[in-house]
Structure 1
Amino acid sequence: MFGFANALLLALFAAAALDFVFAWRHNGTPAAALRSLWQQEHLLFGNWKAAARLRLGQYAFCLGLAIYEFIVVFCNSMAREQWPWLQTRLSPVLDVVMYLALFAKILLGTRYNWRSLGLAGALYFIARWVYFNGQNIWFLGLVVVLLAAKDVPLPRAMKAFLGCGVPTLALVEVLHFAGILAPGATSERNGSFRLMFGYGHPNTFGGIVFGLVLAWVLLRRARMRWVELAAVAAVGIFLLVGPASRSSALCALLLAVLLALAKVLGPKPGNRLFAGLSAALVPLVGAVSLILPLFVVKIGPWANDIGPAWLKRLDDLLTCRISLSWAAYRVYDIKIAGQMLYEWPSIDNIFVYLLYQFGPVLLLLAACLMMVALYGYARQGHWQEVACLVVILLYGYMETQVLHITSDPAALLLCGAIFALPPSRWNTPEGLTTE
């Protein structure tokens, strides 16, 4: 993975250098070349076969996204215990094919001007920098997918996501209930049984199902009907009573409520105040995430033996998210470029997790991108997108699975902010294209 990360960075530098050479030859002077590169979108390495490259680039992205979904949903299910070769032989090959497809899309099938390329390239450099310290492959995979998402219609991406994810999850469930996958149908935690549904943890199953629900919402968006909203709520209830995956269940139920509000509001654009309040949810949730553990008073040997009583009740509701964050404060030092984390404490709050795994610089950048996206979609009146991003913010408070595109396809909504595109171009009829 280090080789892939370095190769993409070097290829982007090489493309920028060739860009300048081509533009200089075409425009006559360095100043004119820079003005052209800054303003005009173009393919890297020359505009040869532009139409074919853009079309094939979309296919390459969809292929990479589908492979990503298959690796997580099938190869990381309990099928890996039944067939170890899924992890030792198949997954490494699929990883290579996936990254080659996404890299081909980034380098050969995407249009950039230097403003977009410069911002996205700088973000990728920082991501690669912290990846080398934290070595979280899910994070690097998310970054590469977001870079490759430009010029791909969002509906097309979601169709590829659902087209692979739904049948693959169905296959896992058939194998699970047929008794082929290990372990058995239940797991015991603190005296209560939770259905596993073919995965190593109920929250893994919950996150995959929640990701498919989000993908359906992003595919339908303003066309969502009331019966579909009821189905989203029904999935939330199922996740609550089946695998007892509280985080994904609560988020699915909240998503149904917010989508109902969005349907009532209609496509009316939001004013600056409401858009600002939407964006302010990011620092608000971040502040709560980082400050609440400071109120913890340790009163016993176990991780969740804390006080005061109100904080203990809230910690129990969030299944120890607060007490484990408190433990992380005492175990880790904050490092500017992140670090590898121990198995304990398990940090499931994305704000605390980003702070320690990837450092404060990346935490601040991620928060800014989320704020820009929320503000832009709210100003345009795209309330379904706002609903998805708000729910993901809450989901991130309880799960770091928001770094997995399989649980957070709404991350693709950040693409416009990552490439510094004006909000009016985030939701064209073609999706995230730049035409």
Structure 2
Amino acid sequence: MHSFIIDCLYGYANLAVLGLALGCMWYAWQTLRRPMEAPWFDLGRQLTVQRQLFGGWLGDVRQALAPWLFIVAAAVYQFEIFFVNSLYRDRLPWLFEYGTMALDHLVVLCLLVKILLCTRYDGRQLAAAFCVLFVIRWVFMNDHNKWMMMALLFALAAKDVPLRRALKLVLPVGALSVGVVALSSVAGVIDTVQELGTGRYRNSFGYGWYNFFGACLLALALMSVCLRGVKRLKWFDFALLAVLTVFCNFGPDSRAVTICLVLLIAALLVVHIWPGVLRPLPVRLLLTAAPLLAFAASMGLALGWNPENPLLARLDSLFSTRISLGWQGITTMPFAIAGQMPGADMLVDNAYLYYWIVAGPVASALIWLGFALLMWRLLKEGLTAEAVCCLVMLCHATMETHVLWACMNVTVWLLCGVLFWPQRQPGFEKTEEKTKIHFKGVVNV
């Protein structure tokens, strides 16, 4: 019990698997026990019926509560990672020691109640959710990578949620948290990390590392783009992104984030000026294959690493030794099909290589195939802002591992469209505001 209170995710992961397993059995029983004139011919139609798990008791209340459970979990998670996880943990140790435990329980409980009691599934969706959760939970017990497990829980819980409404709360929570932490570090209220490295001054602005602060800035930029949408971007939006890029380059000096912000601005300018650039099938196929190509390139460069090769040496310097560190990680860590704990000296910041080593090939395939299918669905639905932001985070994954942090990469929420494959891919577009939520039910305006 003591270990569960301190580190609750392991127990809740088991509960999630057990709950979905019982849900599958309950759904199968409900499907087979219904009177049918020709049961075996009608079984396919019965499996397409969406049902709340374990019966329809308090159905309207559960359906109305569902979005709020996700929204609360997302906002609390954002506050925990962006504020509590800053160097305020040294200033307010009780907040980090006890607050983090309480917030973890609150976040995961909200997600579990949403997944197990407040979501409608058909037979295919329920089976897909259980199978993916079973695999990721198995890997999680071996590698202890909580970010991957939390990403899956958020993706599962995002089903049938107005995600734009959730993002409209998460963005100000994140921006306010980052602003308070940064200003507190400048005012001397909390400590900061500073150094003069590679001839340039770096400042973490109240966080434990420069690249973490940079990742927070990139996350806020992507959230704002998803809310604004490509069509509504004005000159001042690009100006703010340019200012943020310059600040990131000369403040935390986070090279990965600076490059990704430049890529974000360039991609947004292209699709803003030329809206039809993403419509041709070859373009959509190329972007869909982006995570798979990035994985292949990361693996190929790492396996082919040779310090005597001037081109590889130059690339390694450009990527801050990510290639040589990736080679070291692959060659020194054993191959584990179901995941393993990272080595004490393993410094692999490339997410494609990192998850291959610690999560294994099966989980890696689920991750990158999931993002590839997500890119295809986003482009097919014309969700341009979401597609651009997802592509930027996939590029960021070549130098950092924040791609599966559900608080950093909100396109993780959109993976619910890949897991459950609804007719329409969820997104953050403004039309989602047509759904009004209240505790008496969901009313479509």
TM-score normalised according to structure 2 size: 0.89
Whole-Å Cα distance in 2 between the matches of residues 60 and 424 of structure 1? 21
| TM-aligned CA distance change 1:97 to 1:427, over 3 Å | closer
The CA distance in 1 between the partners of 2:19 and 2:265, in whole Å, is: 43
- Hey, what's the Cα distance between the residues in 2 that align with 1:406 and 1:424? 20
Aligned to 2:331: 330
Match of 1:160 among 160, 169, 172: 169
Aligned to 2:358: 357
> 1:301 is matched with which residue?
none
Change (3 A) 1:37 1:340: farther
Deviation for aligned residue 1:189 = 3.7
For 1:307, what is the secondary structure of its paired residue? Answer: coil
Q: Deviation at 1:15?
A: 1.7
1:220 and 2:228 aligned: yes
Check conservation: 1:262, 1:384, Cα contact below 8 A: no
- Separation in structure 2 between the aligned mates of residue 152 and residue 64 of structure 1, nearest angstrom: 12
Distance change (3 Å), C-alpha of 1:431 and 1:308 = farther
SS at match of 1:39: coil
| Distance 1:44-1:36 versus aligned 2 partners, 3 A rule | farther
Tell me the CA shift for residue 76 of structure 1. 1.0
How far apart, in 2, do the equivalents of 1:274 and 1:190 lie?
Answer: 38
> What one-letter code is carried by the residue in structure 2 that aligns with 1:71?
E
8 Å Cα contact 2:139/2:338 also seen in 1: yes
Q: CA deviation at 1:431?
A: 7.8
* Structure 2: distance between partners of 1:269 and 1:59: 34
Q: When the two structures are aligned, how many residues end up with a matched partner?
A: 426
CA contact (8 A) 1:321 1:348 kept: yes
SS at match of 1:344: coil
Deviation for aligned residue 1:169: 1.5
Q: Distance in 1 between matches of 2:183 and 2:239?
A: 25
| 1:165-193 C-alpha deviation (Å, 9 max, x unpaired) | 11111221232122121245x23445643
Equivalent position of 1:51 in the other structure = 60
Unaligned runs of 5+ in 2: 1-8, 436-441
In the TM superposition, what whole-angstrom CA distance separates every residue of 1:374-394 from its partner, at most 9, and x where no partner exists?
A: 122223332222211211111
1:92 paired with 2:93, answer no
Shift of residue 279, structure 1, vs aligned partner = 1.1
Distance (Å, rounded) in 2 between the aligned partners of 1:54 and 1:219: 25
Alignment partner for residue 107 of structure 1, among 116, 126, 139? 116
Q: Does the C-alpha gap of structure 1 residues 59 and 19 become closer, same or farther in structure 2, counting only changes over 3 Å?
A: same
* 1:259-279 superposed Cα distances (whole Å, 9 cap, x missing partner): 111212337872332211111
1:24-423 alignment runs, 5 A limit = 24-28=32-36, 31=40, 34-183=43-192, 186-189=194-197, 192-222=200-230, 223-266=232-275, 270-297=279-306, 306-423=307-424
Q: Deviations over 1:263-302 (max 9, x none)?
A: 12337872332211111222221111001123322xxxxx
Alpha-carbon distance between aligned partners in 1 of 2:386 and 2:77, rounded to the nearest angstrom:
23
CA distance in 1, matches of 2:41, 2:76: 42
Question: How much is the aligned-residue C-alpha RMSD, in angstroms?
Answer: 2.3
Task: Give the aligned residue type for 1:374.
Answer: M
Structure 1: distance between partners of 2:322 and 2:25: 47
Structure 1 residue 354 displacement after superposition: 0.9
| Match in the other structure for 2:4 | none
State, as a whole percentage, how many aligned pairs show the same letter: 32
SS at match of 2:397: helix
Residue number in structure 1 paired with 2:12: 4
**Post-superposition shift, 1:99?**
0.5
